[in-house]
């Protein structure tokens, strides 16, 4: 190899390695690394790629179940949905890139998660997103990030012809400096034809196809995604990747045709860490070696150094393993789709990643050292001794009555209609969308051959900040409740764990407790984890974000014609409160509007009782007993009733005669509660299966509510005006 000057330990630290890690690299190589090797180690040993502060925790999660086809460790997880089909799905983050350049950060986040889906042989059928920003009504920066991220998501998904069918967005002060952009995608593929990413077959050829390689995104995984934003000086910030959805459309069709024709052995997308990650992980999974000649890689910039080629995060690229006898056919197919397939290397029996530039060997590393031997760290969790997050500014006065509170809640950025956002997305392209945003608690998609998929994505950082264990359980239960409201049974779960710096004891405690809660909830619901992502170091100068585990869940329903809706539908229908609903005001949306600090803990939950209520609601939806079903979430019972009235454009009268405290009864929050409506005889049938109270009836053009002396009497038009408050942002 070259005798050029070797990088110093200071350069290693600048790339994200610690001094001890650099010393360990030297031990693994039995010499100091050169520039190419150091760049590759810094990426694969980064938090973003190695999960070195979270992998031990993730190993405690349940990953097996009767419907699991492909679990963690592949590009995406997959569950059996019947008729020989599997649903592939996964959620990932693009937080730090979106905080630097929101349009391209969010757009390439969508592009990356779509590649994860078709990399296992499934055609993408839907996208959902989970977003967090500061207050866009008071912060120009948050408004800029919101506009850019929403536009980027819409641009990429719409251009790809993949519908954005659901999602969520919250606005809280702890996300002011560090926004969160999590994207979830799902796809369908024949179960027997799904492909894994392990390289195999000594002598087989590596083919790179897709966009040419440039300098965009260099250092993204090791620096931008693995450090606090406040630690990065401007000269160290990597450029954010630039996406081209039309190039990805060709990449998608080419990849699926390659798989359909049985031309490739393994397939892997190039995301974080580019060629370094994709090739090394393929080699590790296949227990083989790989040689790559960077001189053969198609470049956008002719003077790129070998290390730049290996770590570039240029978008819309795929790497596949091909038998030599099929190489010509593969290249012909990539030419047909204009994605420029090029043979860049081969599978070997050396167990090493060897990087060449023509005849010159410029890097030689053990695959095991690169991928498997990164040190994993034990966390040092300790509960915080003081409040981490300041109380929010109050926007609702102490003298407000229940009606003013309801209208203020409906106008709150965390509850107001998301229509101005989701109307920027195409939710019906591909013609399989049965329930669009704000029609039901979960999106519903038609399956070929009958039946459908329900899919939901949820998170609540404020609740998790108050109690990482019970708050995370509440998020999982909320996701499953959304599926129940459309009649879907959970098949599997994906997650994105967005947290601050895990090297700090209080953040380590948040992460540890949240993972413990995630595991407990998924076990209780029989909804195993099939994949996911971890995004750490989400901190700025003002402190960490709320701990934000984002949960995505996929379920199946037998008849999409009976998929549930959230809107009241029929004059005279009875309205019932279903489930073990035990509302509380601390950490609620009302508490936030009142300017209250977070509590030190949340009430314990009876997970199995909530599951029983979910099953009862799900079965009633499937049997056609209910006109509407809506789970009680932010804002409490009265907000849920108002949302159902607005969705159905029909009023309601409700009375909580046994309420001890009107404000808790009307606006308190907890998992396990559902507002349902239906013919009185049907509601009576449901009452034989589950805890239930009939609280009112559907009808009229106003919302009337009474509880322990508090009264509300407001026209639907006034509710609708309040609920449309976000429209002013996009006027």
Distance CA 644, CA 630 (A): 7
Buried b (16+ CB within 10 A) or exposed e, 59-89: eebbbebebbbbbbebbbbbbbbeeebbbbb
Q: Which residues pair with 126 in a beta bridge?
A: 186
* Collapsed DSSP state (helix, strand, coil) of residue 165: strand
Residue 224 per-residue DSSP state: I
Asked if residue 226 has pLDDT above 60, the reply is no
Q: Which CATH class is domain 63-193+411-562?
A: alpha beta
Asked if residue 187 has pLDDT above 90, the reply is yes
Buried b (16+ CB within 10 A) or exposed e, 528-549: bbbbbbbbbbbbbeeebbbbbb
pLDDT band at 3 (very low <50, low <70, confident <90, very high): low
CB-based contacts of 600: which residues, under 8 Å, 6+ apart? 466
**6-13 average pLDDT score:** 90
Within a 10 A sphere around the Cβ of 203, how many other Cβ atoms? 10
Residue 370 per-residue DSSP state: I
Portion of the chain with pLDDT greater than 70, in percent: 96
**25-41 average pLDDT score:** 95
Show contacts of 381-386: CB within 8 Å, 24+ apart.
381/505, 381/508, 381/509, 381/511, 381/512, 381/513, 382/505, 382/506, 382/508, 382/509, 383/506, 383/509, 384/506, 384/509
CB-based contacts of 8: which residues, under 8 Å, 6+ apart? none
**148-159 average pLDDT score:** 94
**292-317 average pLDDT score:** 94
Tens digits of residue pLDDT in 58-117: 999 999 999 999 999 999 999 999 999 999 999 999 998 899 899 999 999 999 999 999
Task: Report residue 653 as tokens.
Answer: 């009268």
More confident residue, 688 or 657: 688
**533-555 average pLDDT score:** 95
pLDDT band at 541 (very low <50, low <70, confident <90, very high): confident
Task: Report residue 24 as tokens.
Answer: 């360990």
Portion of the chain with pLDDT greater than 90, in percent: 88
CB-based contacts of 288: which residues, under 8 Å, 6+ apart? 199, 200, 202, 347, 348, 349, 351, 367
Which pLDDT score is estimated for 215? 87
Cβ-in-10-Å burial (0-12, 13-18, 19+) of 688 comes to exposed
Asked if 455 and 555 touch (Cβ cutoff 8 Å), the reply is yes
Asked if residue 426 has pLDDT above 80, the reply is yes
pLDDT band at 302 (very low <50, low <70, confident <90, very high): confident
User: In the chain, what are the domain boundaries?
Assistant: 9-53+196-372, 63-193+411-562, 574-730
Distance CA 249, CA 244 (A): 9
Which pLDDT score is estimated for 398? 86
Single out the residue of 374, 554, 529, 548 nearest to residue 60, CA to CA. 529
**271-288 average pLDDT score:** 93
CB-based contacts of 443: which residues, under 8 Å, 6+ apart? 126, 128, 165, 166, 433, 435, 436, 437, 454, 455, 456
Asked if 204 and 321 touch (Cβ cutoff 8 Å), the reply is yes
**569-583 average pLDDT score:** 97
Single out the residue of 248, 270, 75, 254 nearest to residue 156, CA to CA. 248
Which pLDDT score is estimated for 731? 62
Asked if 300 and 152 touch (Cβ cutoff 8 Å), the reply is no
Asked if residue 29 has pLDDT above 80, the reply is yes
Distance CA 215, CA 314 (A): 7
Estimate the crossing angle of helix 245-260 against helix 102-118, to 10 degrees. Answer: 10
**167-175 average pLDDT score:** 95
- Give the helix ranges, DSSP H, for 494-604: 505-525, 589-593
Task: Report residue 477 as tokens.
Answer: 């239960």
pTM of the model: 0.95
Hey, which CATH number is domain 574-730, 3.90.1170.50, 3.40.50.1460, 3.90.650.10, 3.50.50.60?
3.90.650.10
User: Do 574-730 and 9-53+196-372 fall under one CATH topology?
Assistant: yes
Within a 10 A sphere around the Cβ of 55, how many other Cβ atoms? 13
In the sheet that 529-535 helps form, which strands lie side by side, from edge to edge? Answer: 433-435, 443-446, 452-458, 548-557, 489-498, 529-535
Distance CA 683, CA 692 (A): 9
Task: Tell me the average pLDDT of the chain.
Answer: 93
Q: Which residues pair with 198 in a beta bridge?
A: none
Asked if 423 and 417 touch (Cβ cutoff 8 Å), the reply is no
Asked if residue 239 has pLDDT above 70, the reply is no
Single out the residue of 1, 20, 353 nearest to residue 9, CA to CA. 20
CB-based contacts of 473: which residues, under 8 Å, 6+ apart? 517, 518, 520, 521, 605, 607, 671
Within a 10 A sphere around the Cβ of 324, how many other Cβ atoms? 12
Distance CA 24, CA 18 (A): 10
pLDDT band at 228 (very low <50, low <70, confident <90, very high): low
More confident residue, 595 or 224: 595
Domain at 9-53+196-372: CATH architecture: Alpha-Beta Complex (3.90)
Task: Report residue 724 as tokens.
Answer: 């449309």
Tens digits of residue pLDDT in 701-721: 999 999 988 999 999 999 999
CA 209 from chain centre, in angstroms, equals: 27
Distance CA 304, CA 218 (A): 12
Tens digits of residue pLDDT in 481-518: 999 999 999 999 999 999 999 999 999 999 999 999 99
Distance CA 100, CA 334 (A): 34
CB-based contacts of 404: which residues, under 8 Å, 6+ apart? 396
**Catalytic (active-site) positions:** 48, 94
State the virtual CA torsion across 348, 354, 356, 359 in degrees, nearest 10.
-60
Asked if residue 224 has pLDDT above 70, the reply is no
- Give the helix ranges, DSSP H, for 287-418: 306-311, 327-336, 367, 402-411
**104-133 average pLDDT score:** 96
Which pLDDT score is estimated for 41? 95
Asked if 347 and 202 touch (Cβ cutoff 8 Å), the reply is yes
Distance CA 94, CA 181 (A): 6
Tens digits of residue pLDDT in 432-471: 999 999 999 999 999 998 899 999 999 999 999 999 999 9
Task: Please state the length of the chain.
Answer: 731
Asked if residue 232 has pLDDT above 60, the reply is no
Asked if 199 and 151 touch (Cβ cutoff 8 Å), the reply is no
**151-174 average pLDDT score:** 95
pLDDT band at 235 (very low <50, low <70, confident <90, very high): very low
**543-553 average pLDDT score:** 97
């Amino acid at each position: 190899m070259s005798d050029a000057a070797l990088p110093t330990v200071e350069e290693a630290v600048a790339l994200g390695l610690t001094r001890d890690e650099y010393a360990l690299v030297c031990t693994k190589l039995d010499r100091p690394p050169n520039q190419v090797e150091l760049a590759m180690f810094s990426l694969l040993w980064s938090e973003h790629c190695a999960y070195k502060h979270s992998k031990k925790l993730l190993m405690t999660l349940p990953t097996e179940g009767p419907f699991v086809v492909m679990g963690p460790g592949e590009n995406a997880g997959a569950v059996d949905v019947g008729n020989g089909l599997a649903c592939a799905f996964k959620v990932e983050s693009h937080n730090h890139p979106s905080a630097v350049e929101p349009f391209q950060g969010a757009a390439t986040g969508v592009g990356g998660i779509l590649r994860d889906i078709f990399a296992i042989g499934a055609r993408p059928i839907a996208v959902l997103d989970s977003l967090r920003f500061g207050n866009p009504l008071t912060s120009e920066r948050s408004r800029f990030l919101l506009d850019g991220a929403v536009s980027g998501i819409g641009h990429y998904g719409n251009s790809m012809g993949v519908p954005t069918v659901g999602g969520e967005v919250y606005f809280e002060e702890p996300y002011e400096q560090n926004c969160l952009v999590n994207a979830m995608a799902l796809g369908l593929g024949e179960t027997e034809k799904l492909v894994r990413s392990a390289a195999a077959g000594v002598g087989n050829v590596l083919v790179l196809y897709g966009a040419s390689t440039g300098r965009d995104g260099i250092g993204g995984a090791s620096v931008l995604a693995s450090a606090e934003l406040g630690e990065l000086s401007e000269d160290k910030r990597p450029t954010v990747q630039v996406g081209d959805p039309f190039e990805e459309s060709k990449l998608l069709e080419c990849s699926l045709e390659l798989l359909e024709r049985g031309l490739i052995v393994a397939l892997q997308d190039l995301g974080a860490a580019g060629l370094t990650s994709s090739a090394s992980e393929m080699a590790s999974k296949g227990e083989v070696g790989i040689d790559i000649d960077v001189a053969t890689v198609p470049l956008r910039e002719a003077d790129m150094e070998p290390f730049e080629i290996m770590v570039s995060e240029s978008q819309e690229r795929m790497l596949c393993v091909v038998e030599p006898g099929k190489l010509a056919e593969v290249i012909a197919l990539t030419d047909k789709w204009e994605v420029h397939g090029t043979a860049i290397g081969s599978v070997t029996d050396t167990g090493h990643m060897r990087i060449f530039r023509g005849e010159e060997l410029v890097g030689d590393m053990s695959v095991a050292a690169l991928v498997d031997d990164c040190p994993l760290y034990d966390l040092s969790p300790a509960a915080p001794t003081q409040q981490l997050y300041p109380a929010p500014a109050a926007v609702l006065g102490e003298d407000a009555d229940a009606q003013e509170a309801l209208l203020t809640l409906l106008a709150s950025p965390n509850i107001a209609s998301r229509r101005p956002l989701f109307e920027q997305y195409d939710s019906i392209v591909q013609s399989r969308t049965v329930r669009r945003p704000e029609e039901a608690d979960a999106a519903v998609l038609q399956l070929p051959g009958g039946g459908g998929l329900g899919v939901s994505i949820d998170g609540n950082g404020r609740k998790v900040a108050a109690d990482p264990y019970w708050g995370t359980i509440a998020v999982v239960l909320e996701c499953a409740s959304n599926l129940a409201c459309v009649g879907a049974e959970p098949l599997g779960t994906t997650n994105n764990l967005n947290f601050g710096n895990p090297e700090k004891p209080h953040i380590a405690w948040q992460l540890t407790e949240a993972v413990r809660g995630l595991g407990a909830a998924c076990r209780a619901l029989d909804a195993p984890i099939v994949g996911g992502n971890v995004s750490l170091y989400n901190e700025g100068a003002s402190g960490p974000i709320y701990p934000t585990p984002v949960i995505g869940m996929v379920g199946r329903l037998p008849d999409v014609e009976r998929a549930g809706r959230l809107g009241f539908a029929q004059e005279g229908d009875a309205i019932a409160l279903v489930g073990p609903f035990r509302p509380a005001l601390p950490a609620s949306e009302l508490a936030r509007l009142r300017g209250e600090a977070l509590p030190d803990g949340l009430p314990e939950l009876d997970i199995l009782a909530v599951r029983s209520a979910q099953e009862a609601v799900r079965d009633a939806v499937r049997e056609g007993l209910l006109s509407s079903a809506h789970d009680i979430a932010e804002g409490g019972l009265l907000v849920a009733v108002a949302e159902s009235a607005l969705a159905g454009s029909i009023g309601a009268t409700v009375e909580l005669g046994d309420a001890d405290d009107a404000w808790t009864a009307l606006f308190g929050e907890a998992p396990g509660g559902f507002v349902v409506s239906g013919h009185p005889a049907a509601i009576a049938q449901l009452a034989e299966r589950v805890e239930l109270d009939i609280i009112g009836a559907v009808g009229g053009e106003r919302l009337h509510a009474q509880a322990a002396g508090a009264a509300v009497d407001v026209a639907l038009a006034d509710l609708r005006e309040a609920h449309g408050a976000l429209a002013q942002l996009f006027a």
